[in-house]
Amino acid sequence: MFLSVIVPVYNVEKYLSRCIDSILGQSFEDFELILINDGSLDNCPNICDQYAARDSRITVIHQKNAGVSAARNAGLNVVTGEWITFADSDDFFDKNAFEIIFTEIAKDGKIDILIFDFYLFRENKPIIPIFLYHEPFIYSDRRDIKKLQLQVIAPSLFCAQATGGGAPFKAYKKEILRGVYFPEELHINEDHLFFLRILDLKTVNIIKYIKVPLYYRTRNPEQITTRYNPQIELLLNQAHQAFEQYFFSQHANDPEFMQARLLRIVARTGEFLKLYLLKPENPLSLSEKIRKLKAFIQEYHIRDAAEEISIKEIPFNTKIGILLLRNSNSIFFYCAYWLKENIINKYISIQSG
């Protein structure tokens, strides 16, 4: 068996058949599909079982709801393929994705991770290709692999560029994933931490990136990073604590990682705005949102982190945010981020379409 495809499933009956059909309809057929029903309350369990009854390549695991990380880990425990890829159940693959993955791996037989691009798919809107890096590459030097880690750790404050840390749009050699699991205590950024831990492994020697979109990422209004969630501050803090433990246990003596750590702390302010304060469903008034933002910045020592950052070699957009935070200018920071989310990103989407 060449490829194992792990798909966690939770309350996505509207999208699930499209995802499964995109996998079963691949031009390359040497794969297994592992569907993990994570306690879905809709018709997903029946849909999974119906597909499994028709195709022997499908394995279905039914479990109590434990979160996407636990579901992916359950899949990792039963895979039989030489290579592993992940998909979210509201997303889908290009029909030739697996054949291209197989061909690219066969060209360079010693690679450990293959990274590819994706399309941003939104109903009744232009499909936008998202390219993770500027040029294709094959990295075998630890300094280059470290660059990938730093990009995942420190996203830009006012830039929509993807960081490449998500669970999908990669294929991993099964051997390197032995004993590595998603952190089940996290419900946000868990895939980024998983990827960072993999890149730390001494068994990861060669990483290949092809500048080809093979995957369609859907904007599902029920996703945890899309829907309004009053508990998002708690989830962000849990992720922050996990990343702090990672930094100080693995890279405490590395100045570049410590700089990236500070940038990530500052970037949490943008996440808090995007995932909570700027949501249309948020009932707070503008003045209440500004007070909430000020409290968030103070409680999590974000201004202190901004003061420590060396801004010489960081993107201009990020510099703006850091300077605003250094000057405790919460109102202007809020306005700048609102502008980025509501005008600049929409303009970019229109131009891309």
Q: What is the mean pLDDT of residues 336-341?
A: 79
Selection from 293, 271, 308 nearest residue 163 by Cα: 271
Contact yes or no for 90/15 (Cβ under 8 A): yes
Q: What is the pLDDT of residue 60?
A: 98
* Non-local CB neighbours of 66 within 8 Å, separated by 6+ positions: 38, 39, 184
The pTM is what? 0.92
* Alpha-carbon Rg for the chain in angstroms: 20
Q: Is residue 57 within 8 Å of residue 32, measured between CB atoms?
A: yes
Report the percent of the chain where pLDDT is more than 70: 93
pLDDT band (50, 70, 90) for residue 221: low
Evaluate if residue 223 carries a pLDDT over 60: yes
Average the pLDDT over 277-298 and give the result: 93
DSSP 114: E
Instruction: Return the minimum-mean-pLDDT range out of 280-289, 299-308, 322-331.
Output: 322-331
> From CA 286, how far away is CA 295, in angstroms rounded?
14
In this prediction, residue 20 carries a pLDDT of 98
At 265-277, the pLDDT tens digits run: 998 898 899 889 9
Q: Cα–Cα distance between 230 and 226 in angstroms, integer?
A: 12
> Which one has a higher pLDDT value, 162 or 145?
145
pLDDT of residue 163: 64
pLDDT score at 160: 45
pLDDT > 90 in the chain, percent? 70
Q: d(Cα 211, Cα 229) in Å, to the nearest integer?
A: 34
Kindly tell me if the per-residue pLDDT of 347 is higher than 80. Answer: no
> Is the predicted pLDDT of residue 343 greater than 70, yes or no?
no
- Domain architecture of the chain: domains with CATH: 3-218 (3.90.550.10), 232-352 (no CATH)
Q: What is the Cα–Cα distance from 277 to 350, expressed in whole angstroms?
A: 25
What confidence tens digit (pLDDT) does each residue in 166-211 have?
899 999 999 999 999 999 999 999 999 999 999 999 999 999 999 9
- Say if residue 328's pLDDT is above 90: no
Question: Do β-strands 83-86 and 3-9 pair in parallel, antiparallel, or remain unpaired?
Answer: parallel
pLDDT at residue 112 greater than cutoff 80: yes
* pLDDT bracket for residue 311 (50, 70, 90): confident
Mean pLDDT of 224-247: 89
pLDDT in tens, 24-75: 999 999 999 999 999 999 999 999 999 999 999 999 999 999 999 999 999 9
- Using one digit for the tens of pLDDT, what is the confidence trace for 4-22? 999 999 999 999 999 999 9
pLDDT in tens, 132-159: 999 999 999 999 999 999 988 876 554 4
Query: How is 20-65 classified by DSSP, letter by letter?
Result: HHHHHT-S---EEEEEEEES-SSSHHHHHHHHHHH-TTEEEEEE--
Provide CB contacts within 8 A for 20, sequence distance 6+: 7, 33, 35, 47, 51, 58
- What average pLDDT does the chain have? 90
Predicted pLDDT of residue 68: 96
Q: Reply yes or no on whether the pLDDT at 350 is more than 70.
A: no
- pLDDT recorded at residue 173: 97
